[in-house]
Amino acid sequence: MGIRMGLVIQACVLICVISSQSVKPPKIYFLHVTSEVDYRFAKTVVTSKVVNKEPTASEAVFDLTLPNEAFITAFKLTINGKEIEGKVKEKEQAKQEFEAAKAKGQSAGHIVAKPRETNKFQIQVNVAAQEKVTFVLTYRELLKRTNGLYNHVIYINPGQVVDDLKINVLIKESSNITIIKTPPIRNELLQEGPEGTNKLALVDRISPTNAFVSYEPSPLEQESGISGQFIVQYDVDRSNDAGDLLFMDGYFVHFLAPEGIEPMPMDIIFVLDKSGSMGTTKMNQVKESMMTILDDVKAEDKIFIMAFESSLHYWKQEFVQATPENIIASKNYVNNIRSGGGTNIDLALKEGIKRLTQISGNKGRAPVLVFLTDGEATSGETNTERILENLKRENEAEIPIFSLGFGQGADFDIVKRVAAQNNGFGRKIYEDSDAALQIAGFYKEISTVLMKNVSFNYIDGTLYDTEVTTTKFNTYFKGSEMVVAGKVKDLNKLQSGLTVNGTGVGNREIEIPVPRMWCTILPWPPRPSMPFTTPTPPVTTRNPSIMEKLWAYLTIKQLLKDKDALDSTNKIKTLNDKIIQLSLKYQFVTPLTSMVVTLPDQTKANPSEVQTSEKNGETADLAGLSSIQNLLSARPMNFPSFRLAPVQIRRTTAPPLEKLMSMAPRRTLVMVSRALPRGWRNPFPTTTRPPFTTRTTTLKTTTTTISSRPIVRKLAKSQIPSFGITLPGLETPLCFDLPMNQSKVYNLMSSSSPAKVFKMNGRSGPDMIDRITVTEDVQTVSYDAQPTDASKTPVFLTLLETTSLVARNTPLGLQFLANFPARNNDINGILALFKDYSGNLVSSDILIESGEFAAYVNIESSSGTLTVLRATTKEFGDGICYYLDSETLQQFYTNISQFEMTS
């Protein structure tokens, strides 16, 4: 699979502990990142626990890198047994409190280096000897669709090996998830070449619309420490042109990404800065990127290349068709460009718009201007406001301009404002070795126009007009998505249908009807997690729904962009007031608000502040301060996306018995003559981490490549449950461990049915069962665990009446799963703990609780006894299970010795 460059929407987390003292810094012993993606709106919770094992105090720094698109919503610190929560306040008020505390000697601040494309959060606290500290930070972001994929990226760099490191991502969509992938951990620099799959990541398709991704490297697998970006990429079914229209608690969101539309021919002008500041290196990177871009230009497109410094330079005086001959000639021209002279931005932009206006007109073609500069205006008109005013007068046709600011010295203020005023977007290009890939990736996003002048037309009276995001989109690009959100005045009118109109090839009118009753009404408030009969306290404050928070998020984002397009002080102030009002109401840390964290005296870091810079890419001027500050500053984002093959989907129905048996070595099988029960499924489905590479297995349209050399994960026992049981009514297994003694032999399962004699005993090894002895009728056979066998094939499987039993190898021993399609009172042993129970989920959702995903399971015994169990999600086989801790499990047994065998 080759890499196709483009935008990747990032959900980044960087956590490290540092110390300015000579003593060792506190150790991170727990680092969990849980991200719940509801309809593309992600809520990410980062929990980090550190302990100072030294005899003296030490400083710990909670240091996170966040996506530019994200808003922090909550922060909590637990130290000395006390919980301290951050408060979102208007930036000026927060600054005054921060300065007042600093003047008393309670705290100070410093600018911290940050990776590109990100925001920064940092808080430093003093940790006493033998003390533990817990940090919990929550942020939200809307995943944007780019090049046909949603990309959720978690950047993790703890700077050390973490005993308990876990990343869990739960994706819940309204449409079927068609593809989901976890590429390998990578750094922030873009790279060309093939990309594989993260072999330590689990992808579990728990339903057509829900997926669970887990990444839990053991300390051995972390080697010297994980450093890079953990990525989840996915997309949903696009067969419904009307998109997804969702309603909850008075608010709606409409996601629309129609496909099957013929691409429009484009008129593209490239306005390239060749001033002296471009030098040799940057100019060569621009040339390299233009080689890739020109190869991607479609034959029906027309191109115009203009280089500028103090004056203008042309390849040709007119637009030319992108024939193979013209592409070769244009590459030769670009390769011969030499840098030198001043930077006349005003002249270049006006000329570019003039040329596009002359050729495009109303001919059913899509005009696009790509503008790249590495500096500020130094010749001609140099005043930013006048440059913008001149451009506004010239661009009456509202031609979209996409701006690139190249390098540290670029005036990104004018770059982003030019784009905001002219229906485009701005992007920073960083002076790194991958600069050419950044530029080529930027162009990939805008290289195919499907529609122009798109409008969402709701029936009058459907919405509150002042509380709806933009319903008009200048250009719809292939692989992107249009999103509208708002407050609903009349749900019946929303359900009565609407139309989306746009202009396509040859000025043809395109109409996308949204039919009646298309709107999906989601419940609010959600059903309670547990069926407690205890009366709940009265609700005194209204809890906003997911849809309302998404509307607020999108509204703030739109207001921030609208502000960049304004030059009126009064209008800017009006927008600022709206942004602050929404930010405080929904507790978002935005460019106009800050989060203040007041710490106790013993931390030596009292009031601290989290803030977003007013200028994109610039941090607040705190260079004179010297100790700690929470600093959040904005940067735009530009990462690659990847062309993906379909991921293998977890099966929910059983393969034929002969197929399952053929997967295992013949010597390990106990043959059965009856068919497996209806509804039985393979308890250890084929992994999404293919362990082999020489043999190919195909399932439907999905191909999994298998290697001849097994890959053995270096997992810890805490990561691998020993036992799993699937109950009637509960598809996902319950899984658990028991405190077994090494070298002891236990009754795993035995049958008391006169129709069949069956006994399975297991000898406990250092971590799990390492040998089983099976007696069936009169035959007894023993099987040893093979921890080096990572093929996922069953070591043993059998069927007892309706109960199936499978054992498989893990790196630490054998893992067992018993499948109970119906209650079975004829079996005994460890795997019969729940033999006479049925189960179901109390809530249909997996929940985030205390920084981890949890589920509540209602199980009922044959006597009618009901029990509610709280379980956490854990990897099992190649899916997930609901893990029961030892305290919960003791409800079903009193002593492990009851399962010990005397001989």
Cα→Cα distances 900→12, 253, 771, 796, 894, Å: 48, 58, 15, 21, 13
The span from the CA of 759 to the CA of 722, in Å, is 18
Cα→Cα distances 871→353, 736, 756, 774, Å: 61, 10, 34, 31
719-737 mean pLDDT = 92
The span from the CA of 207 to the CA of 761, in Å, is 35
Q: Is the pLDDT of residue 646 over 90?
A: no
265 — pLDDT class (breaks 50, 70, 90): very high
791-812 mean pLDDT = 86
Residues 565 and 66 sit within 8 Å (Cβ to Cβ): no
Q: Which residues pair with 139 in a beta bridge?
A: 44, 72
Weakest mean pLDDT among 141-150, 414-423, 729-738, 792-801:
792-801
The span from the CA of 467 to the CA of 446, in Å, is 29
Q: What's residue 601's pLDDT?
A: 58
Residues 721 and 881 sit within 8 Å (Cβ to Cβ): yes
Q: Is the pLDDT of residue 410 over 70?
A: yes
Q: What's residue 636's pLDDT?
A: 29
pLDDT top residue among 761 and 440: 761
Most confident of 223-227, 599-603, 693-697: 223-227
Q: Is the pLDDT of residue 635 over 60?
A: no
Weakest mean pLDDT among 104-118, 174-188, 590-604, 647-661:
647-661
Residues 6+ apart with CB under 8 A from 206: 212, 650, 732, 879, 880
Q: What's residue 381's pLDDT?
A: 94
Q: What is the enclosing helix (H) or strand (E) of 140?
A: strand 132-142
pLDDT top residue among 722 and 193: 722
DSSP secondary structure of 812-844: TEEEEEEE-SS---SEESGGGTTTTEEEEESSS
Q: Which residues pair with 312 in a beta bridge?
A: 308
Q: What's residue 790's pLDDT?
A: 65
What's the pLDDT tens digit per position in 300-322? 999 999 999 999 999 999 999 99
425-433 mean pLDDT = 80
SS3 118: strand
- Quote the mean pLDDT of the chain: 79
Locate 199 and state its tokens.
Answer: 């072999």
38 — pLDDT class (breaks 50, 70, 90): very high
Q: Is the pLDDT of residue 850 over 80?
A: no
Q: Is the pLDDT of residue 746 over 90?
A: yes
Weakest mean pLDDT among 25-34, 245-254, 625-634, 862-871:
625-634
The span from the CA of 61 to the CA of 121, in Å, is 10
Q: Is the pLDDT of residue 648 over 80?
A: no
Locate 595 and state its tokens.
Answer: 């989060």
Q: What's residue 619's pLDDT?
A: 30
Could you check whether the bond before residue 525 is cis, i.e. omega within 30 degrees of 0?
yes
Q: What's residue 618's pLDDT?
A: 33
Q: What is the pTM of this model?
A: 0.79
The DSSP letter of residue 218 is: -
Q: What's residue 80's pLDDT?
A: 79
Positions of E strands within 535-662: 593-598, 607-611, 641-642
Q: What's residue 196's pLDDT?
A: 81
Residues 782 and 772 sit within 8 Å (Cβ to Cβ): yes
**Residue closest to 734 by CA, chosen among 887, 527, 885:** 885
100 — pLDDT class (breaks 50, 70, 90): low
- Rounded to 10°, the helix 546-564/412-421 angle is 110
Q: What's residue 721's pLDDT?
A: 94
657 — pLDDT class (breaks 50, 70, 90): very low
State the pairing for strand pair 366-373/266-273.
Answer: parallel
Return the ∠ at Cα 421 (arms to 415 and 426), rounded to 5°.
35
492-504 mean pLDDT = 93
Cα→Cα distances 446→110, 339, 640, Å: 39, 27, 14
What's the pLDDT tens digit per position in 661-684? 333 332 223 323 233 443 444 445
810-825 mean pLDDT = 88
DSSP secondary structure of 274-333: -SGGGHHHHHHHHHHHHHHHHHHS-TT-EEEEEEESSSEEES-SS-EE--HHHHHHHHHH
